[in-house]
Amino acid sequence: MAKEGTLLMKYTYLGRTGLKVSRLCLGTMNFGNVTEEKEAFRIMDAALDAGINFFDTANVYGWQPKGLTEEIVGRWFAQGGGRREKVVLATKVYGDMDPIDGPNNMGGLSSYKIRRHLNASLRRLQTDHVELYQMHHIDRNVTWDELWEAFETHVRAGNVGYIGSSNFAGWHLVKAQAAAKERNFLGLVSEQHLYNLLQRLPELEVLPAAKDLGLGVIPWSPLAGGLLGSNALKAKEGSRSIRQQEKVAKHRPQLEEFAALCQELGEREDIVALAWLLTNESVTAPITGPRTLEQFESSLRVVELELTPDVLTRLDEIFPGPGGAAPEAYAW
């Protein structure tokens, strides 16, 4: 429950499940990599105080070493105070963790790997279960019979509550659910996907498929790697990577129009970009990835911002989508 004087968090159901999650999801990818542990603890405490109960991580986060982010989250849980009980925890499996463990622990999704990597994640997170276990990418070398057999085992054992996907194409979602239905299994409940004002291709196939199947969409990189943030046009050239400079140059006209619109509204660019995502009925919760407590606290404004139809029309003009869902987007 949010503290008195803070914004009132909003909640929704995760896909077609009865599990309620906050409309903002706290992304932890920067913890241990950019954000030191003490600051990460402050951010997670502030998230709970603000009413955010949905936390997302992955076994590969931390990078040096991989798994460090899960360890930080686990040490935060270990402080007690109901921290674990208040969090809907999501983590992921797919990437390689330690090549020393052999070829079966490299990138992919086998039953062997899922079992080993889930157990390792639970140890790092200092918990006996995760609410949402997500496939970080599609593995075309594994059958759905093998995947669903593996995941069903962990759901029945109580180690996992629900299964989600990430970076799946629309037809992958359909195949996954068809196979799950044959087994009388719930299957996927969510798809975590790259979706933002600068990347609207998911509107063609992924979002319509998710909506039809009753899956919640969890957008990652909602600010397009910072391009939709308030400092995208202000940063000095020398402070950006070459790749970031190229992206800014490519999208500068759009970003300048976007900045002008946000100035008219009296809102920061990142807040408007997040609010735009929340207007889509397919979206459950965009993932925010704060590096500091200040960044986190400044993002909370989004839960009370409502964009008018006129503003949405102007955003469509600045950042044109693919024209709607397929096939009408490109055919009669």
pLDDT digits 0-9 by tens, 106-116? 889 999 999 99
Which three-class secondary structure state does DSSP give residue 288? strand
Q: Which parts of the chain are beta strand (E)? A: 11-13, 20-22, 25-27, 54-56, 88-93, 130-135, 160-166, 188-194, 216-220, 287-288
Say how far apart CA 169 and CA 180 lie, in whole Å.
17
Count of beta carbons in the 10 Å neighbourhood of residue 16? 12
Please determine, for residue 91, whether its predicted confidence score (pLDDT) is greater than 70: yes
As given in the structure block, the two tokens for residue 199 are 């990347």
Task: Identify each DSSP E strand in 106-179 by its residue range.
Answer: 130-135, 160-166
Scored b (16 or more CB within 10 A) or e, 164-185 reads bbbbbebebbeebbebbeeeeb
> Which of 222, 127, 209, 125 lies closest to 175, judged by CA?
209
Convert the pLDDT of each residue in 314-327 to its tens digit.
999 999 999 999 99
**Tens of pLDDT, residues 258-317:** 999 999 999 999 999 999 999 999 999 999 999 999 999 999 999 999 999 999 999 999
Alpha carbon distance 216, 14 (integer Å)? 6
At 3 the pLDDT is: 45
195 is catalytic: no
Query: In terms of DSSP bridges, do strands 287-288 and 216-220 run parallel, antiparallel, or are they unpaired?
Result: unpaired
How many Å is the Cα radius of gyration of the chain? 20
The listed CATH number (3.30.360.10, 3.40.50.970, 3.30.300.30, 3.20.20.100) that belongs to domain 11-318: 3.20.20.100
| SS3 of residue 134 by DSSP | strand
What pTM was estimated for this model as a whole? 0.94
pLDDT at 4: 41
- pLDDT tens digits, 190-227: 999 999 999 999 999 999 999 999 999 999 999 999 99
Candidate list 11, 61, 195, 330, residue with the active-site label:
61
What is the per-residue pLDDT across 236-252, written as a single tens digit (0 to 9) for each? Answer: 665 567 888 889 999 99
Cross-strand bridge partners of residue 92: 134
What's the chain's length in residues?
332
* Spatial CB neighbours of 140, under 8 Å, sequence gap ≥ 6: none
